[in-house]
């Protein structure tokens, strides 16, 4: 029997995404978030509370990168989600991480994170006091160490982790348990598992 849990944002898994922007003084700002993802073939969507420093940076620079953090850098990623750049302007420097400028967007690339999506802001809409940001993907960069023999990202090699909204936990991902658009194909023909 199912129990009613009320109105909560309970979906699992939630991605852990690092949103990287430049501050007015060209220093790096990076924040971890979970309320975002792909919304079209070349677009990403972010839902951000308006008081984040990142929102001001998005308005000013019209660009950002999204990094997928790996388990090896979970501590630094979590810190960047806890610390507020409004209260701790040097939070990126304190993380011990490093960044270089993107060639395709006016935003930083965090060198330690294995996967980066470069984006330009298409729109920022304020809804209920928060910002809904649409970004156009203008490039994707991946460390060779996370690619398979065909040059595609291997989820197991990426060693990413996801966020659990139910218990505020992080969980490593990577074990492949099926093939998309194939594992259920037998049901199209009426076959039973």
Instruction: Indicate the Cα dihedral angle 102, 105, 107, 110, nearest 10°.
Output: -40
Q: How far is 47 from 37, CA to CA, in rounded Å?
A: 9
The domain limits of the chain are 14-189
Q: What is the pLDDT along the chain (193 residues), one digit of tens a residue?
A: 999 989 988 888 899 999 999 999 999 999 999 999 999 999 999 999 999 999 999 999 999 999 999 999 999 999 999 999 999 999 999 999 999 999 999 999 999 999 999 999 999 999 998 999 999 999 999 999 999 999 999 999 999 999 998 889 999 987 878 888 888 888 887 666 5
Residue 86: C-alpha distances to residues 78, 121, 139 (Å): 17, 21, 29
Architecture field, domain 14-189: Roll (2.30)
- Cα angle for residues 136, 141, 146 (degrees, 5° grid): 135
Q: How many residues are there in the chain?
A: 193
Residue 15's closest CA among 175, 139, 173?
Answer: 173
E strand or H helix that includes residue 110:
strand 108-110
**3-class DSSP assignment, residue 50:** coil
To the nearest 5 percent, what fractions of the chain are helix, strand and coil? 20, 40, 40
């Amino acid at each position: 029997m199912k129990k009613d849990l009320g109105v909560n944002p309970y979906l699992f898994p939630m991605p852990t995404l690092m949103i990287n922007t430049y501050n007015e003084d060209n220093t790096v700002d990076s924040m971890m978030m979970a309320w975002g993802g792909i919304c079209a073939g070349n677009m990403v969507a972010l839902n951000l509370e308006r008081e984040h420093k990142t929102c001001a940076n998005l308005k000013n620079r019209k660009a950002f990168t999204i990094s997928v953090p790996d388990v090896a850098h979970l501590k630094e990623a979590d810190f960047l989600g806890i610390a507020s750049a409004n209260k701790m302007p040097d939070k990126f420097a304190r993380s011990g991480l490093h960044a270089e400028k993107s060639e395709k967007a006016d935003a930083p690339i965090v060198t330690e994170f294995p996967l980066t999506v470069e984006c330009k802001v298409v729109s920022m809409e304020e809804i209920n006091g928060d910002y809904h940001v649409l970004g156009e993907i203008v490039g994707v960069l991946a460390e060779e160490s996370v690619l398979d023999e065909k040059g595609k990202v291997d989820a197991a090699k990426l060693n990413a982790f996801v966020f659990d909204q139910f218990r505020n936990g992080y969980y490593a991902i990577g074990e492949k348990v099926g093939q998309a658009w194939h594992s259920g194909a037998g049901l199209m023909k009426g076959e039973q598992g």
